[in-house]
């Protein structure tokens, strides 16, 4: 019995990477999700506005008493990693740089080079390291780069640290994996939730696997598959069918002590890459045959689940009529998810389509509509609150949206980490005109403007999933709406890809596409 207890304690300690030589591990982030159809380029200012930290400031933010991603997640991947280092003991976590911006159009080359420079400069100044952990997205895009930005980041980091230092990375589960990304890594993990709430646990998992590797507790052996698949899987929410079964099986696989990680990537389909496709990845402890068998099983499960089509998309008028007759709005607003203008997927948020329909219908619904219109925002910047005036809402410049004429009252202003915005009131209609692409995933977006979300009948969201985390007790009906914008899903169906892919082409099996995509 004593021997069993000792073995259990030893195995438990090793599962966290405890026991072994002192280690120094650098950690950082370059995180962005791009939409090729957005007319807005992403610049250095976008990262400074949302999140850019280095050195001591990053170390403070990534501690349990810090706030890593202000107004979104107090604890994210880097906090999870530093806690893995603390639990393992004998690990010095060395902060590098961490940069994140709201999803938008592709990065300028200048912006990308600045991000790389800050990360690599801190890396060179970090001194001797045993390992490096990076929180990446997997669906960045950079103007005129010609390859996956994450592949460039990993290659440039490897040039600095040399061949012996171990390299780990975590990814959003909408990352687009390529051979250049996967082959560069010793440890690879992905989020397990959609909406994504498990950022800190993901960093913790990556940290423990990296530490165990460095202390020779495990010998990671990888296998992955890339599916000729761009859209499917219903809502793709991890705890709802059909994807629930896939994620349940992944967790079951990891209960086998020989299995270190399992990952599924349901690709972000809005970049211009011709290599788009879902991916699955399995890491075992030195067992190549097991990794190959499990990754094929996981690919089969994902392929089958993805046959469930995405939910029905409503036209705008049908969606508004649905709100008008909904009993759910007695408890809180019905959410219209503007699927063609998802800022959370890189669209600019300047669609005027739903606003136009509400005005033309002379709707009496209490509606909350966020719109990116920097020109109108500038015009309203100094207008006294309470002023009534005639305005034209045109949306994002270059976005080709219909102008909407309003006689509106300026009722509130706010300028916080959620963005600078002015509130216009037209009857029961509240229109938030923003300087930058709006991401109103938290009720605070409207609360700061004096609006109580729960009292509304209708709320327009520019986000597929994440807003549900913060509105779970506020909004109980969610209606996906098709309009006309940068994240149009019909455009995705028609995308030209390097290999025939679903849903554009009906395929019986994934294997031939996988061989071509991983070649």
Instruction: Please provide the DSSP assignment of 431-451 as one string.
Output: EEEESS-----STHHHHTTT-
d(CA 118, CA 125): 11
Residue 97 within a domain? yes
Q: Are residues 297 and 329 in the same domain?
A: no
d(CA 303, CA 419): 39
Q: Are residues 63 and 209 in the same domain?
A: yes
Q: Are residues 290 and 330 in the same domain?
A: no
Position 69 pLDDT exceeds 80: yes
Q: Are residues 263 and 400 in the same domain?
A: no
- Rounded mean pLDDT, 104-122: 98
Q: Are the beta carbons of 38 and 105 closer than 8 angstroms?
A: yes
Render pLDDT for 408-418 as a digit per residue (tens, 0 to 9): 999 999 998 88
d(CA 418, CA 49): 10
Q: Are residues 340 and 392 in the same domain?
A: yes
Residue 35 within a domain? yes
| % the chain with pLDDT above 70 | 97
Residue 497 within a domain? no
- Rounded mean pLDDT, 454-477: 95
* Tokens describing residue 182: 């996967």
Q: Are residues 56 and 126 in the same domain?
A: yes
Q: Are residues 249 and 356 in the same domain?
A: no
The pLDDT value given to residue 6: 52
250 falls in which pLDDT band (50, 70, 90)?
Answer: very high
Position 403 pLDDT exceeds 60: yes
Annotate 430-459 with b (16+ C-beta within 10 A) or e (fewer): bbbbbbbbbbbbbbbbbebbebebeebbbb
* Tokens describing residue 380: 């309203």
Backbone dihedral angles phi then psi of residue 486, each to the nearest 5 degrees: -75, -25
The pLDDT value given to residue 12: 58
11 falls in which pLDDT band (50, 70, 90)?
Answer: low
Residue 5 within a domain? no
The pLDDT value given to residue 133: 99
The pLDDT value given to residue 276: 94
Q: Are the beta carbons of 225 and 279 closer than 8 angstroms?
A: yes
Q: Are residues 334 and 450 in the same domain?
A: yes
Backbone dihedral angles phi then psi of residue 38, each to the nearest 5 degrees: -75, 140
Q: Are residues 297 and 336 in the same domain?
A: no
Q: Rounding to the nearest 10 degrees, give the CA dihedral for residues 409, 410, 412, 418.
A: 110
Q: Are residues 299 and 341 in the same domain?
A: no
What would you measure as the largest C-alpha separation in the chain, in angstroms?
81
The pLDDT value given to residue 179: 97
Q: Which of 11-25, 356-370, 408-422 comes out lowest in average pLDDT? A: 11-25
Q: Which domain holds residue 454?
A: 316-492
- Rounded mean pLDDT, 21-37: 97
Render pLDDT for 135-160 as a digit per residue (tens, 0 to 9): 999 999 999 999 999 999 999 999 99
Position 4 pLDDT exceeds 90: no
Position 7 pLDDT exceeds 50: no
Q: What is the sign of the dihedral through the CA atoms of 473, 478, 483 and 486? A: positive
* Tokens describing residue 15: 């599962």
- Rounded mean pLDDT, 451-467: 95
Q: Are residues 341 and 264 in the same domain?
A: no
Element (H, E) at 11: helix 2-15
* Tokens describing residue 55: 């050195």
Residue 350 within a domain? yes
Position 468 pLDDT exceeds 50: yes
Annotate 238-266 with b (16+ C-beta within 10 A) or e (fewer): beeebbeebbebbeebbeeeebbbbbbbb
Position 1 pLDDT exceeds 60: no
Mean model confidence pLDDT for the chain = 95
Element (H, E) at 56: helix 55-61
Residue 422 within a domain? yes
- Rounded mean pLDDT, 444-455: 97
The pLDDT value given to residue 71: 72
End-of-domain residue from the set 279, 305, 331: 305
Render pLDDT for 225-245 as a digit per residue (tens, 0 to 9): 999 999 999 999 999 999 999
DSSP assignment, residue 313? P
The pLDDT value given to residue 5: 45
Residue 323 within a domain? yes
In angstroms, the Cα distances linking 469 to 193, 198, 245, 247, 256 are: 11, 12, 21, 19, 31
164 falls in which pLDDT band (50, 70, 90)?
Answer: very high
Residue 519 within a domain? no
Q: Are the beta carbons of 492 and 348 closer than 8 angstroms?
A: no
Q: What is the sign of the dihedral through the CA atoms of 114, 120, 124 and 129? A: positive
* Tokens describing residue 507: 């395929």
The pLDDT value given to residue 18: 82
The pLDDT value given to residue 8: 44
Position 127 pLDDT exceeds 90: yes
| SS3 category, 72 | coil
| Beta bridge partners of residue 424, listed in sequence order | 410, 431
Q: Are residues 238 and 379 in the same domain?
A: no
Q: Are the beta carbons of 477 and 468 closer than 8 angstroms?
A: no
End-of-domain residue from the set 305, 338, 366: 305
398 falls in which pLDDT band (50, 70, 90)?
Answer: very high
Q: How many domains does the chain have?
A: 2
* Tokens describing residue 365: 């619904």
d(CA 336, CA 461): 6
Render pLDDT for 284-305 as a digit per residue (tens, 0 to 9): 999 999 999 999 999 999 999 9
- Whole-model pTM? 0.93
The pLDDT value given to residue 329: 94
């Amino acid at each position: 019995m004593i021997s069993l207890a000792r073995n259990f304690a030893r195995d438990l300690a090793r599962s966290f990477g405890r026991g072994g030589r002192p280690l120094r591990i650098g950690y950082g982030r370059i995180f962005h999700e791009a939409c090729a159809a957005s007319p807005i380029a992403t610049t250095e200012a976008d990262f400074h506005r949302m999140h850019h930290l280095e050195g001591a400031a990053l170390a403070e933010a990534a501690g349990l008493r810090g706030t890593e991603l202000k107004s979104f997640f107090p604890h994210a991947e880097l906090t999870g990693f530093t806690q893995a280092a603390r639990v393992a003991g004998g690990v010095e976590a060395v902060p590098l740089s961490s940069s994140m911006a709201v999803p938008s159009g592709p990065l300028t080359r200048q912006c990308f080079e600045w991000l790389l420079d800050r990360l690599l400069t801190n890396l060179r100044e970090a001194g001797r390291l045993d390992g490096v952990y990076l929180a990446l997205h997997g669906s960045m895009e950079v103007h005129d780069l010609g390859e996956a930005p994450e592949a460039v980041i990993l290659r440039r980091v490897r040039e600095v640290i040399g061949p012996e230092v171990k390299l780990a990375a975590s990814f959003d589960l909408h990352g687009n994996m390529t051979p250049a990304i996967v082959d560069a890594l010793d440890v690879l993990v992905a989020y397990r939730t959609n909406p994504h709430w498990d950022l800190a646990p993901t960093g913790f998992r990556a940290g423990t696997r990296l530490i165990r590797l460095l202390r020779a507790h495990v010998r990671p052996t990888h296998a992955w598959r890339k599916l000729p698949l761009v859209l499917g899987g219903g809502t793709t929410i991890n705890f709802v069918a059909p994807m629930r079964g896939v994620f349940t099986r992944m967790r079951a696989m990891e209960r086998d002590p020989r299995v270190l990680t399992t990952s599924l990537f349901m690709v972000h389909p809005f970049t211009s890459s011709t290599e788009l496709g879902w991916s699955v990845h399995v890491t075992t402890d030195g067992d190549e045959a097991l990794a190959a068998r499990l990754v094929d099983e996981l690919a089969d499960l994902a392929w089958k689940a993805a046959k469930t089509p995405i939910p029905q998309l409503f036209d705008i008028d049908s969606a508004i009529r649905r709100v008008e007759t909904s009993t759910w709005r007695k408890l809180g607003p019905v959410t219209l998810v503007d699927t063609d203008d998802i800022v959370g997927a890189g669209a600019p948020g300047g669609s005027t389509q739903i606003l136009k329909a509400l005005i033309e219908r002379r709707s009496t619904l209490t509606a909350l509509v966020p719109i990116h219109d920097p020109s109108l925002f500038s015009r309203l910047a100094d207008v006294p609150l309470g002023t009534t005036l005639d305005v034209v809402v045109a949306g994002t410049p270059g976005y080709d949206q219909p102008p909407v004429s309003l006689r509106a009252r300026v009722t509130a202003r706010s300028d916080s980490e959620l963005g600078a915005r002015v509130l216009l009131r037209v009857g029961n209609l509240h229109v938030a005109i923003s300087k930058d692409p709006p991401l109103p995933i938290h009720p605070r977006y409207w609360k700061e403007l004096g609006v109580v979300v729960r009292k509304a009948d209708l709320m327009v969201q520019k986000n597929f999933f994440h807003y549900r985390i913060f509105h779970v007790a506020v909004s109980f009906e969610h209606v996906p709406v098709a309009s006309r914008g940068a994240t149009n899903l019909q455009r995705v169906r028609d995308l030209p890809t390097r290999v025939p892919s679903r849903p554009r082409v009906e395929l019986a099996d994934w294997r031939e596409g996988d061989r071509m995509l991983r070649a």
